[in-house]
Structure formats: structure tokens, C-alpha cells
Chains A and B, each alone.
Chain A
Amino acid sequence: MQFKFHIQRYDPSSDWAPRFERYLVELDPLATVLDGLHKIQEQQDGSLCFRRSCRSAICGSCAMYINGTHRLACKTIIKSLRTKNIKVGPLPRLTIIKDLAVDMGPFFEKVERIMPYLVANSSPPKGERPQSIEERRAINEMIDCIMCGACYSACPIVGLDKDYLGPAALTKAYRFVGDSRDEGAGERLSLVNNQHGVWRCHTIFNCQKVCPKSINPTWSIQQLKKRLTRRPSWVIFGRKG
């Protein structure tokens, strides 16, 4: 079956602004959008630039703006789009490096800011740090995050406040705050307790709408807010924004 791909192109060395280019591709309807991009790159235009790695919705490299919403190219079966016209663009609001590749630097820099690693002050027990099934279940959802940046790109607050940590970093923060083995909750909560942290969230739910792993970042952010409000008021208001 023949499909028409409309792909947003941008070459920093020759273009002032992005433009769309059309490609006709012969594909199985059960192929993915990523398969289509590969075919274009291999057979029609070797200069097409995009990120991908695992092809199985685990690495989070190929988040793109496909037919009007944020999707993983590798997870989007062409048939499910119910059209022969496939419009592919880079993640909105992010700086475009070339074609479909965007600058994920600020995104990962913000994830790093919330200390995305297990903090354990106590000396390690023999073997491993155990966790019960129930304790693990509490953070199952947050652990599923593949950090593709779809939520970050869909959040209007990220567009309006460039310092806002964003849904992915805050979900990652709750992934550790809610982890029974973690001992860094106090410090991590202080890091998100400012006007560019949890309090910036306006509960617009775009993040939950676009997440390819069906995570609800708003829920995690509200859990962080809840923990913060349980602290004494001088701790909440004592920090500068």
C-alpha cells in the first residue's frame, strides 16, 4: 500500500525556517511510522535526520509529532492512523537541530537537577536492598517512564517558563521520593519546592494525554505537592523561588 509522508525538514546550513517535504512510500499497513522513515532514508533521501534506537518503545528516542499528536514513531502502527497521509514533525516547542532531531539538552539537564538516582545514607546491607511487592507497586507507574520527552514537549507551562522542571523530571522525582529504599526525599522535595518546580504545574493534563507509556505525571506532581504541604509551613515558604 502506498502512503504519503509529509515530513518537516530543516537543514541549519541552508534553511531559515522548517519546510515540509513529501515522500511516497510503499509500506505494509502494519508497519510502523519509523519503518516508513527508515525506508525514506534508505531509498529516497539519505539526508533525512531523525533519532531512533531500540524500535520497541523502550529507549524513548523517537518521540515525534505524528498526525497531530505526540507519539513514538516506533510504536505507531500506520494502520492505526486511519489515513494515507502521514504528517511527521519534530517535538513541538523544542529547539530543532536538524529535521526531526530536537535538542534534548535542557530536558535531561532538568532531570539531572532532581537527583535521579537512589540516595542511601545507611551502609549497604549484605546482598541487596530488598523491597516488598507492595512497596514496588507504589512506584510501578513512574518506573515505566522512558524519558522520551513527549510530556515535556506537550506541556504549555514548559513553553511559558523555560526554567520549569517539567512533567518528566517531576515524575522522576516522585519515582525516588515514593521509593521505600530511598533516603534522599528531604533534599529532593526541597529541589522541587519552588516556583519552577511542582507549584508551577497548572494541572492541564496534556502530559497524561500524550504519554506513550500511559503514565499520569500530574498524579506524581500532586503527590509531591501533598508531601510538601505536610511539611511545617516555614519549610514550604522559607525557600526563595
Chain B
Amino acid sequence: MYRPKTSDIWPPRYGLGMWAWLFQRISGLVLALYLIGHIWVISFSIAGQGGIRFDSVLETLQKPYVLALELLLFWAVLYHGLNGLRVILIDFGLGIREQHILFWTAMAVALALLSWGIIEAWPYITGTPLI
């Protein structure tokens, strides 16, 4: 008897549902780690005398690469939230046979909101407005 490894979760072997599930897990981890980091960074800002640290922390947070990373965070929020809605609908027994349509609708909404975010954030990252 040969017992193969049981942790085969490589999505290309399966379908859209597997991708959706795996990215839900990854975005969830990203958000959880972000929250820890966020509390950690903010806790620095009240340290030091006369708010000196506060100013330096805020300065770092306004650097373009931090703002660009924030767009990634925005995408994680959008994906996790909107795909989460899809999963909740499925758990309510709605749209199980239309899960592909549900997924792509959620992604269309997420992309629309992300492009809005990019347009808004662009001037702060590059210094010139996108549109």
C-alpha cells in the first residue's frame, strides 16, 4: 500500500472554485497580518515626546511605495469581502449552480472599485493626476 501526500491543493488541476477558495485564504492571511502590523505601527506614533515619532511615522506612511502597497491592501479587502459575499450567498443556498457567474460578478465589482482607488491614489503616488 502506498499512501500519497494528502495536501494536494494546486488549483490548476481543478477549477475556478479552487482558485477562489485559495485566494480567499491568502487574502484573509494578508488582512490578518496587516491588522497586526497596523496596530504595531500606530502604537509607535504615540511613543516619544511631543509627537515627534508621530510626525516621522506619518511621513513614512505617505511615501509613494507605501501608498502603492495600500492599493494591494485595497485589492485584498475587495477580493476577500466580495468573494466572501459570494460564499455567504452559496451558504444560503443561492446561486450554487451559478457560482461562476457569481464569482465573475463579484470580481467585476471589485475591479471597478479598484480602478476608482487607483485613480484616487495616483496623484499621491506619482505627483500627477491619472485622468
Residue numbers of A with Cβ under 8 A of B are 10, 12, 15, 17-18, 68-69, 92-97, 103, 154, 156, 159-160, 162, 202-206, 208-210, 216, 218-219, 222-223, 225-226
Cβ proximity bits B1-28 to A, threshold 8 Å, 1 near / 0 not: 1111011110001111110110000000
Query: Are B18 and A156 touching (Cβ within 8 A)?
Result: yes
Question: Nearest Cβ distance between residue A174 and chain B, in whole angstroms?
Answer: 12
Query: Are B6 and A159 touching (Cβ within 8 A)?
Result: yes
A204 and B18 contact, Cβ closer than 8 Å, known pairs A12-B2, A68-B13, A69-B13: yes
Query: Are B96 and A218 touching (Cβ within 8 A)?
Result: yes
For window 93-126 of B, CB contacts with A under 8 Å fall at 93, 96-97, 99
| Docked complex Cα distance between A103 and B18 (Å) | 25
A202 and B1 contact, Cβ closer than 8 Å, known pairs A160-B7, A219-B97: no
Any A CB within 8 A of the CB of B31: no
Q: What are 15 contact pairs spanning A and B, CB under 8 A?
A: A10-B2, A15-B2, A92-B8, A93-B8, A94-B4, A95-B3, A96-B1, A159-B8, A162-B6, A202-B21, A203-B90, A203-B91, A203-B99, A208-B17, A218-B96
B residues in contact with A15, CB < 8 Å? 2
B residues in contact with A223, CB < 8 Å? 93
Question: Nearest Cβ distance between residue A209 and chain B, in whole angstroms?
Answer: 4
The residue on B at minimum CB distance from A218 is B96
Q: Which of the residues A17, A94, A225 comes within 8 Å of B93, measured between beta carbons?
A: A225
Query: Are B18 and A206 touching (Cβ within 8 A)?
Result: yes
A12 and B1 contact, Cβ closer than 8 Å, known pairs A92-B8, A223-B93, A225-B91: yes
B residues in contact with A210, CB < 8 Å? 14
A residues in contact with B18, CB < 8 Å? 156, 204-206
